[in-house]
A = this chain, B = another copy of it.
């Protein structure tokens, strides 16, 4: 990241608008108007070959005529002129380019788009766009876009891949009372993408949390790395997670949308909070910019209505912070703040009769208790209370709780009419997020808790860098296969690659004659398994090419010949390497490891239990590599059928540590060999009881086209 260049682009000291126009309705007119109306304080340079002035500002025929330095050039001229304009900007010493003009990659012209980037980079410039709305920043009084207004001021920043949505959300910030400092429209992401901006926002003192609207990522791994590192909450709404939706996203932005499951896993690995929809994106953003993360699991609910209390209790379970009953001493104290028929168990139901004082005392007392990690305050409008008064009382009580509110989040929900809506707006304007449904208030507290949990996990996590593999040995095996014109490895070869990365495979040796088969069988020790090895025979069993439980030399000799004969009968011209002589692994719990090269995130590992669990229930989880042993433990615990690993139906617990070690090494292997391996699997892996390890019984590697 070139910070100075990006500073020039996103916090420019001067702005030129190339294609500035005096004709209302033209984008070059709107941008000048937006800059003026936004109150931009630096010099604005309209660039227009013919005009002397636009909207009262002196215009210049070219960027070379501008008297001062240009930090940001906003380009609104037709597509065919953009490349030359960028060259001019480069020559004129412009720092950053915001290319609003459309008509490039999104209509199929990737070639010209690439040239724009090349040209920008040639002169050390960075470019956002093309095909964007522009960028907006409250702290810089900068509306360098054709959106009418700056967003409601606040401490969040939004990066949107959809321009239309950005304009709409810009307007919505005012309606919803969710403040933003900066809005970025990403467009085609020809140069600058999510990762670039997130990295830059990490140091932006006006941004406390980052909201994203994502359709597809071009450099998914870099995105994850940046999100992992940024010390600010990132909340993302990923569109295009349905089968049909993915297609729509592709046609919309020309980017590739990864599978929903992979995105979900990747976001969690990177500590990103995933929003369910637009409402939820606003809800979470408001909470994260106004409140601290929730550092423990104990949620306190204070309510004046039993009904909303019960609903919020359901929500707490739904969002991963199930309610607990309060300790007796706290219950005793809370009882003082409510009528006899109230309840102090949690939810603390001060009842409709308690009024303002009940809220104030309960909140102030509650927030000060070590037991309490977060607070939801619920209010049902009644005929005898004033929502405005209640809101002000809640605010005062929170303030008087003192410093604890710096690490205990509060969210509020008022259910009622216009007066409630106004009171809630007052609360949010004063830093307390408030929502019209208790479910939403509890949802954001769940998000604040999830974030804190992910941060804790990050702190205890190693990146698996200590894992070593014999890369050279693995590549040599692969190169041999490639030399042989093959796009996959044999089982024997795949197991050698696995071994090069320390995976515990069943000993497997290749016999090329009957005598060698006997020698190798004795070396491994009976019983053994024998399998045909031929790149031309994929379905070994169908070809009569597999025999298990071979017990002695005589049987080995007999079956060597049977298998070779069967193979030739199955496919006369098959290239036969020989017969694999293989250690017979005892039965265990069958698990499966696999890898894909995800379109967005690259090498990604999959874990699941074998048999019906993967085939019928599709009960698998993904993780983008590298995967540490800690993450691998979490992966195992996130399948639905995890009880099998814990020891179901009288079985002893499985050796999950050995499994975690295997996953970490496997992930290192597919990461190192990302340019060689397209897909792979270890299937089945026999996983034994705790302390007894595992064995990879079969191995498969499909090579990447080169």
Contact = CB atoms under 8 A, between A and B. Distances in A.
Interface of A: 25, 30, 106-107, 146-148, 160-162, 164-165, 167-169, 171-175, 213, 215, 237, 239-245, 248-249, 251-253, 276-279, 304-311, 313-318, 322-325, 341, 343, 345, 347, 349, 352, 380-384, 415-421, 436-440, 611-612, 615-617, 640-641, 643-644, 648-649
B174 A417 contact: yes
Nearest to A102: B341
B437 A25 contact: no
A358 B437 CA distance: 36
A277 B644 contact: no
Contacts of A147: 383
A416 B167 CA distance: 8
A279 B440 CA distance: 9
A5 to B, nearest CB: 28
Nearest to A417: B171
The 5 closest A-B pairs by CB, nearest first: A162-B307, A171-B417, A164-B305, A242-B317, A277-B439
B314 A245 contact: yes
A439 B345 CA distance: 36
Contacts of A438: 277-278
Contact of A167 (B164, B317, B383): B383
A383 B252 contact: no
A439 B239 CA distance: 11
B314 A239 contact: yes
B381 A162 contact: no
A123 to B, nearest CB: 30
Given A167-B380, A244-B322, A612-B648, 16 more contacts: A30-B383, A147-B383, A162-B305, A164-B352, A164-B380, A164-B382, A168-B415, A175-B420, A239-B310, A243-B317, A248-B345, A277-B311, A277-B440, A278-B437, A612-B649, A617-B640
A241 B318 CA distance: 10
Contacts of A612: 641, 644, 648-649
Contacts of A245: 310-311, 313-314, 317, 323
A341 B253 CA distance: 12
Contacts of A276: 439
Contacts of A213: 307
Nearest to A343: B251
Nearest to A145: B383
A244 to B, nearest CB: 5
A649 B617 CA distance: 12
A21 to B, nearest CB: 14
A171 B381 contact: yes
A36 to B, nearest CB: 15
Contacts of A416: 168, 171-172, 175
A196 B383 CA distance: 28
Contact of A244 (B148, B323, B419, B420): B323
The winner among A172, A318, A324 for most chain B CB atoms within 10 A is A172
Contacts of A160: 307
Contacts of A640: 617
B644 A244 contact: no
Contact of A277 (B172, B437, B616): B437
Contact of A305 (B168, B242, B616): B168
B240 A314 contact: yes
Nearest to A351: B164
A383 B148 contact: yes
Contacts of A279: 436-437, 439-440
A267 to B, nearest CB: 15
A277 to B, nearest CB: 4
Nearest to A318: B242
B311 A648 contact: no
A314 B241 contact: yes
Given A239-B311, A240-B310, A277-B437, A165 B253 contact: no
Contacts of A417: 171-175
Given A323-B244, A415-B169, A612-B644, A164 B306 contact: yes
B304 A244 contact: no
A527 B625 CA distance: 56
A615 B648 CA distance: 8
A640 B330 CA distance: 43
Given A162-B306, A318-B242, A380 B278 contact: no
A654 B649 CA distance: 25
Contacts of A314: 239-242, 245
